[in-house]
């Protein structure tokens, strides 16, 4: 009987639970034995591995976080840790491992593939920083969380006639900022991929004021190379407008996954099981338009991210 392990690794993202559920249930439907691996590669090294049945993934499709826990494993990056992980996979007789996570987790999976382990990778990160797939699981939910924050902040920003800088996550990718900024009607969006012009940002604030605008929302991606409070001081100095900072932080990682994140997670894991059943190995599963697609893992990792920088032009015209 085919035995398949499932793990979630790296930063948690809404939709991980939906991905776990689909893997476990479709695996069992295909006559496989399914095993949960706790805390990502950490649990793999420690052998925290247990069999999962259909009921074990009940009531999780709508929940953020991950039932299997997650971790960023430093030990797995060492030769000793990797050896132990491979040994555990062999001890438990796992024929394949489904890795649900982001870029770092995929790279970890590739090192397992180099040791002859069959890995199937499901892209799950709020950052949307994986070039081979149109989107990543968790991104849509995170953008909606930021949108809801923008709405609240806009109310108070207008009431006090302030500028507010909202710092969002995304590591070195500006997509959360770009999508939320465009959908939320932000005045300016600052991303790590392109330099920004402080004069233009300040000019926009002053011009907005002059035509009676009460608020000014700036979305700044965390990867932009300037400290957010420092930026607020500079804007205040140049415009004379009271400028506040809101760092959304981990708020963006939690919450109930949106329909599109649940659908992608469910379809991607379902496909991972079909690929294992059909004898495929070492694939990265993604979304191209409405289609679930899959590529050789190592090729997929090499494809550069394509941030939605064209959104900046729209934001510029529309805000």
Q: Residue 123 Cβ, how far from ligand F6P at the closest point, in Å?
A: 12
What residues between 121 and 150 interact with ligand F6P by CB under 6 A? 125-127
- Residue 245's closest CA among 224, 267, 220? 220
What residues between 195 and 254 interact with ligand F6P by CB under 6 A? 222, 253
Is residue 14 close enough to count as binding ligand F6P by CB under 6 A?
A: no
CA–CA separation, 48 and 51 (whole Å): 10
Report the residue number, 42 or 127, with the smaller CB distance to ligand F6P. 127
Which residues are CB-neighbours of 230 under 8 A, at least 6 positions away? none
Q: Which of 12, 127, 175, 261 is catalytic?
A: 127
Among 39, 84, 154, 171, the residue binding ligand F6P under the rule CB under 6 A is 171
Beta-bridged to residue 287, according to DSSP, are 292
Report the residue number, 11 or 14, with the smaller CB distance to ligand F6P. 11
Q: Residue 289 Cβ, how far from ligand F6P at the closest point, in Å?
A: 25
3-state class (DSSP) for residue 190: strand
- Residue 32's closest CA among 66, 67, 6, 61? 6
Q: Where are the beta strands (DSSP E) in the chain?
A: 3-8, 33-37, 49-52, 96-101, 119-123, 163-168, 188-190, 216-221, 243-247, 283-288, 291-296
Residue reference for tokens 């995170």: 142
Report the residue number, 171 or 271, with the smaller CB distance to ligand F6P. 171
Tokens (6 digits) for 255: 């919450």
Size, binding site for ligand F6P by CB under 6 A: 11
Q: Residue 191 Cβ, how far from ligand F6P at the closest point, in Å?
A: 13
Q: Following DSSP, what letter does each residue of 264-292 receive, concatenated?
A: HHHHHHHHHHHHHHTT--SEEEEEETTEE
Report the residue number, 4 or 142, with the smaller CB distance to ligand F6P. 142
Among 100, 169, 190, 312, the residue binding ligand F6P under the rule CB under 6 A is 169
Report the residue number, 12 or 38, with the smaller CB distance to ligand F6P. 12
Stretch of 41-49, 151-159, 168-176, 294-302 contacting ligand F6P, by CB under 6 A:
168-176
Q: Residue 176 Cβ, how far from ligand F6P at the closest point, in Å?
A: 8
Is 12 annotated in the active site? no
For residue 116, the tally of other CB atoms under 10 A from its CB is 10
Q: Residue 38 Cβ, how far from ligand F6P at the closest point, in Å?
A: 17
Report the residue number, 254 or 296, with the smaller CB distance to ligand F6P. 254
CA–CA separation, 52 and 75 (whole Å): 25
Q: Residue 103 Cβ, how far from ligand F6P at the closest point, in Å?
A: 8
Beta-bridged to residue 190, according to DSSP, are 220
DSSP secondary structure letter of residue 72: -
Is residue 102 close enough to count as binding ligand F6P by CB under 6 A?
A: yes
Is residue 72 close enough to count as binding ligand F6P by CB under 6 A?
A: yes
**What x/- string results for residues 258 through 297 when contact with ligand F6P is judged by CB under 6 A?**
----------------------------------------
CA–CA separation, 126 and 135 (whole Å): 9
Which residues are CB-neighbours of 26 under 8 A, at least 6 positions away? 269, 270, 273, 274
Q: Residues interacting with ligand F6P, by CB under 6 A?
A: 11, 72, 102, 125-127, 169-171, 222, 253
- List, by residue number, the catalytic residues: 127
């Amino acid at each position: 009987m085919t035995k398949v392990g499932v793990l979630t690794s790296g930063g948690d993202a809404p939709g991980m639970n939906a991905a776990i559920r689909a893997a476990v249930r479709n695996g069992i439907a295909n006559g496989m034995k399914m095993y949960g691996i706790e805390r990502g590669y950490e649990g793999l090294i420690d052998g925290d591995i247990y069999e999962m049945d259909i009921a074990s993934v009940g009531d999780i499709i709508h929940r953020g976080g991950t039932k299997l826990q997650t971790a960023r494993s430093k030990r797995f990056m060492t030769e000793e840790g990797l050896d132990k992980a491979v040994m555990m996979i062999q001890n438990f007789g796992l024929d394949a491992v489904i890795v649900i996570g982001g870029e770092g987790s995929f790279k970890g999976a590739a090192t397992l593939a180099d040791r002859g382990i069959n890995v199937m990778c499901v892209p799950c990160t709020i950052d949307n920083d994986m070039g081979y797939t149109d989107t990543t699981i968790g991104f849509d939910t995170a953008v909606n969380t930021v949108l809801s924050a923008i709405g609240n902040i806009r109310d108070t920003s207008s009431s006090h006639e302030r500028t507010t800088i909202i710092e969002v996550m995304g590591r070195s990718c500006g997509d959360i900022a770009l999508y939320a900024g465009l959908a939320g009607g932000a005045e300016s969006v600052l991303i790590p991929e392109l330099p920004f012009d402080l004069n233009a940002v300040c000019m926009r604030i002053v011009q907005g004021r002059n035509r009676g605008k009460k608020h000014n929302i700036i979305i700044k991606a965390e990867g932009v190379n300037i400290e957010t409070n420092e930026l607020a001081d500079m804007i205040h100095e140049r415009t004379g407008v009271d400028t506040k900072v809101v760092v959304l932080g981990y708020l963006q990682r939690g919450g109930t996954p949106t329909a599109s994140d649940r659908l992608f997670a469910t379809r991607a894991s379902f496909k991972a099981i079909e690929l294992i059943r059909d004898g495929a190995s070492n694939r990265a599963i993604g979304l191209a338009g409405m289609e679930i697609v899959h590529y050789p893992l190592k090729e997929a990792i090499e494809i550069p991210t394509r941030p939605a920088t064209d959104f900046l032009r729209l934001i510029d015209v529309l805000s």
